[in-house]
Amino acid sequence: MFWEMSKQQLASAGLTGDDLKAQLTLGVIRDAARDMIEGRVDAMLCPAVPSAVMEINEAKGECKFINLTKEQADYVVKHSEGYFMQDIAANDKRFRNKSAVPNAICFQNAMFTSASTDPEIVYGVAKAIFEHTAEFADAHPQAKYWSLKHRPVANAVPYHEGSIRFFKEKGLWTDEAQAYQEMMLKKQQALKK
């Protein structure tokens, strides 16, 4: 997932992996952050990932973000499923960053379940989370972002019919979301074959 997004970040500047002196693909952000802290890696291409930012900041001080321009960030978001652009203010509790990070590429947090899970259960979980966010908002820096006002529907993977029902009730399920849903379901069916 992060390699695909990194390729899009490079492409937004007219580059490919071949333009790098060397590259190492790590599937675990913690390993990449450790390699950066220990001097084996000079830079990381990834979205704003709280665990990596916090770990590097605690070990080495402030991470130096080389921000994408708005045009580059728009390109990455357009070509990467599940990502969105957000300006992150200085001292955001999620990232513990000292300076602002404009045009940050972020991934939509999600919960996953089997398509065969009872729709009433999925509906109930979505309702419980989104209608009671204030009750657990202080439990974790990310918790307050699991709310109806912070991008609850994002195009990444197909949504369960129980969650779609909830988002429709709240007026958040758009024609665009439905079209994307149908495209992803067709894509999954083709992959199954």
In a domain, 161, yes or no: yes
Residue 113 within a domain:
no
Only one residue has tokens 């999954």, namely: 188
Domain region containing 75: 2-107
The whole-angstrom distance between residue 54's C-alpha and the CA centroid of its chain comes to: 17
Q: Report if residue 112 sits inside a domain.
A: no
User: pTM, whole model, 2 decimals?
Assistant: 0.65
Of 98, 16, 3, the C-alpha closest to 56 is: 98
On the question of pLDDT at 50 being above 60, the answer is no
C-alpha 133/C-alpha 129 separation (Å) is 6
- Do 101 and 7 have their domain in common? yes
The pLDDT, as a whole number, for residue 47 is 63
pLDDT band at 27 (very low <50, low <70, confident <90, very high): low
Residues in the chain: 193
Does 92 share its domain with 139? no
Instruction: Report whether 11 contacts 75 (CB < 8 A).
Output: yes
How many domains are contained in the chain?
2
If asked whether residues 26 and 101 sit together in one domain, one would say yes
Q: 35 with 90, same domain?
A: yes
**In the predicted model, what is the mean pLDDT of residues 120-136?**
92
Q: Does any domain span residue 114? A: no
71: left (phi over 0), alpha (psi -120 to 50) or beta: alpha
**131 and 79: one domain?**
no
For residue 104, is pLDDT > 80? Answer: yes
Could you tell me if 147 and 126 lie in one domain? yes
